[in-house]
């Protein structure tokens, strides 16, 4: 159950990773940039997994009372998904800015 949130979020993260890889077409494409892109995607994936695991451990489940457990247990999956998504996007946004500055086409 620890990785359920990130597994459910994985298809959307793959789509975001593909969009990062494919666009924008106006930037210079060379081996250095592709290497940077691979490292950025790996860093984003690791950050998402780490954030999700830390969030899963940080969520406190409500105690069961006389009527049974409360419905708050769903937050043990929702919060890790949000943290993982946020970490993935944060790393990609930083990489997008760096990529734009370094590999922007220069005017002739």
Give the separation between CA 8 and CA 99, rounded to whole angstroms.
29
DSSP 37-53: HHHHHHHHHHHHHHHHH
pTM value is: 0.85
Q: What is the pLDDT along the chain (108 residues), one digit of tens a residue?
A: 778 888 989 999 999 999 999 988 888 888 999 999 999 999 999 999 999 999 988 887 767 666 666 666 777 888 899 999 999 999 999 999 999 999 887 666
What does the longest C-alpha to C-alpha distance in the chain come to? 75
């Amino acid at each position: 159950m620890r990785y359920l949130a990130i597994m459910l979020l994985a298809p959307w993260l793959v789509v975001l990773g593909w969009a990062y890889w494919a666009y924008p077409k106006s930037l210079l494409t060379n081996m250095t940039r592709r290497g940077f892109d691979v490292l950025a995607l790996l860093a984003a994936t690791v950050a998402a997994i780490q954030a999700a695991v830390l969030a899963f451990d940080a969520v406190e489940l409500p105690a069961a009372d006389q009527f049974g457990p409360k419905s708050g247990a769903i937050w043990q999956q929702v919060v890790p998904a949000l943290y993982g998504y946020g970490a993935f996007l944060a790393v990609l946004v930083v990489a997008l800015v760096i990529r734009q500055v370094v590999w922007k086409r220069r005017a002739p």
